Amino acid sequence: MMLSRCLPIYGILSLLLCGFSPVHSSAATTPQPAIYPLEQAIALYNQQILHQRQRITVIAQRYLNEDDISESDFNWLKKMADDYQLAPQQRGDKLFFETLLSRVDYLPTSVIVAQALMESGLSSYKISNPFGIPCSARCTARLSDALQDYAKRLNTSDEYQTFRQLRLTIRQHGKVSTAQFVNSLNRHPNPISPYHQRLKTIIQHYGLDKPHKS
């Protein structure tokens, strides 16, 4: 039946009965990456790290001054050393506390967000494990767990020692640029590699470039 014949009889209903379907735009909407949840997860992580650094500093002052520390502080410090993979011979002296504080430190938001976006293909549906590294089963459940797993690698692996040294430089001498942080990622040691260049492009495209300072 022609649409012109059935329309006067059945009105709007005939549009459905005659097989008429509404026209949809053929242009697919590209989903924007979920940057805000990433930034929130990093902010929460950095807040936790700040509290841990403060506690380590207080314990270090007492310990190095040969003051007594509580059993709970001792056990907590031992767990932190285990978590950040410090050898037993490093524990209990000034070098131990300096090394621990160099590992228990914040994550630069702009760089970590850009890495997560790039490793996940700039998609929102892989947000639970966005860093492109082997991940424990539990970390696929929550973004914060994936972030914790990646932060552990940044803070303990020898390949990211330059990255950790740069964070220490910030605390000693002030701010550094986002580009310097990107170049410090020794997983890809060539600072002009396609990986580094793409990372810098993502940072610029999404307006993530912010000064990093202590």
pTM above the 0.85 mark?
A: no
How many angstroms separate the CA atoms of 61 and 128, rounded? 39
The answer as to whether 134 is a domain residue is: yes
Which is more confident, 113 or 51?
51
**The domain containing residue 177 runs over which residues?**
35-205
The answer as to whether 25 is a domain residue is: no
The answer as to whether 56 is a domain residue is: yes
The answer as to whether 11 is a domain residue is: no
The answer as to whether 47 is a domain residue is: yes
How many angstroms separate the CA atoms of 147 and 149, rounded? 5
In tens, the pLDDT along 17-45 reads 333 333 333 334 444 556 888 888 899 99
As a whole number, the mean pLDDT across the chain is 75
Number of domains in the chain: 1
In tens, the pLDDT along 82-108 reads 999 998 766 778 999 999 999 999 999
The answer as to whether 88 is a domain residue is: yes
Judged on CB neighbours under 10 Å (0-12, 13-18, 19+), 115 is buried
In this predicted structure, which of 12-21, 102-111, 141-150, 179-188 has the lowest mean pLDDT? 12-21
The answer as to whether 127 is a domain residue is: yes
Over residues 119-141, the mean pLDDT reads 54
Q: Is the pLDDT of residue 175 over 50?
A: yes
In this predicted structure, which of 11-20, 55-64, 179-188 has the lowest mean pLDDT? 11-20
The answer as to whether 28 is a domain residue is: no
pLDDT score at 30: 44
